[in-house]
Each structure stands twice: as C-alpha cells, then as structure tokens.
Structure 1
Amino acid sequence: METLSSKIDVEEEKQLILLTLNDYLQGRPVIDIERLRAAFHPDAYIRTVIEGKLVQWALPQYLDLVAQATIQECQPQLLSYTWDGDTGSAHVQLTFATFRFIDRFNLIKLDGKWLIVDKVSYREELP
C-alpha cells in the first residue's frame, strides 16, 4: 500500500530529476554553458556515432563544442524518464529546423542532486 509519505517522496524525486533535465533542455538551445554544466557530473561523457565511428567527449570538450554552436530556434522535449533508487535514465530530443538530436541519459543522484553521467546522442536530419 502506498503511503502519503511515499507519494511525497516520489513527487520530490520527480521534481529533482526534472530540475536537472530542464537545465539541459532549456540550457542547450540558448547555449547557456553554466546551466548545461549544472546538469552534468564533471566526469560525464558524451557519445555519438559520426560516419560509422564512435566519437566521445569528456564534459569540458563537449561544452567547448556547444559554446561554438550557433543559436537556432529549437523545440526541446522530454520524452520519458525513470529511476530506481539513486540511478535513472531519460530520453529527450531537441528539434531544430533541419535536424533533431535524440539523446539518452544515464543519471546518478549524488548529495541530493540528480546529474547526467552519460549522454548517448543521435543526430537525425529532417526533410
């Protein structure tokens, strides 16, 4: 039986996870590097496939690449998220005029805050 206390705990976890995901979803389109940095663990890795090869960046390299991007109109969307204990995952997408990033995150809760520790990204060209 679910108690009031467990319902409050679930809602609190949802809000904490959403804070982190929103830092990414709202920070990336406007290239807010500090907001992005807040969403990720300092030792996070970002991975994608480019021309059939795995490419990965440590967080500082990734943030440097994002900082060089041009701000474009973007539709950020949280597709799903889930968690068990202090680990979780999320599926998001950022849709720009001519392409879309589809991202999957692994999340860890440390010191009361959820952080992205791993991002796997796919870029889909749009017609």
Structure 2
Amino acid sequence: MMKTLANNVGVADEKHLIQLTLNDYLQGRPALDIERLRSAFHPDAHIRTVIDGKLVQWTAPQYLDLVAQATIQECQPELLSFTWDGDTGSAHVQLTFATFRFIDRFNLIKLDGKWLIMDKISYREDLQ
C-alpha cells in the first residue's frame, strides 16, 4: 500500500505531539520546573525504580514532591528513542548529570489529543 501525503502528515503530527510531552519531561526535570513536569505525566502515573535490590515506587504527586526538593544540577537531557501504535506508545530517555545518569523508559497514552507519561521505570547509573 502506498503512503499518501496525508499519512505522512499524520505521522509527523503524531511525532511532534509525542516530542512535546517528552520535552516537557526532558526540559522540566533538570530545571525542577514542577508544573512543566506535571503536564508530562498522567495524574495516575506511577514511577518505579530499584534501590539496593528492592522495588521502590511513587505515585506522580509523590514523585513531583521529591523532584521539587532536589538540587538543580548541570544536566544533559537526551531523547534516545520513541515509538507508538494508535494511542499507546513508549519512549527511552536519559538525563546525564556530572556523577550519575538516569535512564528512563516510559509508557505513554494519548488522551484528548495529548500524549501523557502513564508509567516510568528508571535506572540510576553512577558515572566514574
């Protein structure tokens, strides 16, 4: 089946919408811009990581409260990849700070024309 221009425009639009949400995270998190960060997440989102071999999880409001207490540090945010099918998607991003890096994987959902992070799993890698 041939791709029509309309299909291509649809793909470009969807990519743009997903990138808006991911940029709210990638720019909002290093700046500790809690409102921008909040807009990237579904209110019922969960954030999960492993600390000392144990699963640790937060609701979106708990996570945002934690981020609000963090210290602003120099950070290099990167969008590594993303993909979607219909109104669900996933993304892989990283935030590199001076001594450590967060590598995050998101599940995304599109609601009312906006993509939102529904779940985040995060790995913290210490940099030598």
- TM interval, short-chain normalised: over 0.9
Q: Which amino acid aligns with 1:16?
A: L
CA displacement at 1:11 relative to structure 2 = 0.3
Residue 31 of structure 2 aligns to a residue in which SS? coil
Deviating above 3 A after TM superposition, structure 1's stretches of 4 or more consecutive aligned residues are: none
Do residues 106 (structure 1) and 103 (structure 2) align? no
CA displacement at 1:48 relative to structure 2 = 0.1
The normalised TM-score by structure 1 is: 1.00
Look up the match of 2:13.
12
How big is each residue's C-alpha offset from its partner over 1:6-58, in whole Å with a ceiling of 9 and x where there is no partner?
00000000000000000000000000000000000000000000000000000
Instruction: Count matched residues.
Output: 127
Partners in 1 of 2:60 and 2:81 — Cα distance?
A: 23
CA displacement at 1:98 relative to structure 2 = 0.2
Do residues 64 (structure 1) and 65 (structure 2) align? yes
Superposed counterparts of 1:22-37, under 5 Å = 22-37=23-38
Task: Among all aligned residue pairs of Structure 1 and Structure 2, give the percentage whose two residues are the same amino acid.
Answer: 82
Q: Which amino acid aligns with 2:14?
A: E
Superposed counterparts of 1:41-52, under 5 Å = 41-52=42-53
What runs of 5+ residues in structure 2 fail to find an aligned partner? none
Partners in 2 of 1:60 and 1:7 — Cα distance?
A: 37
What RMSD in Å do the two structures reach over aligned CA positions?
A: 0.3
What runs of 5+ residues in structure 1 fail to find an aligned partner? none
The normalised TM-score by structure 2 is: 0.99
Look up the match of 2:56.
55
Do residues 116 (structure 1) and 117 (structure 2) align? yes
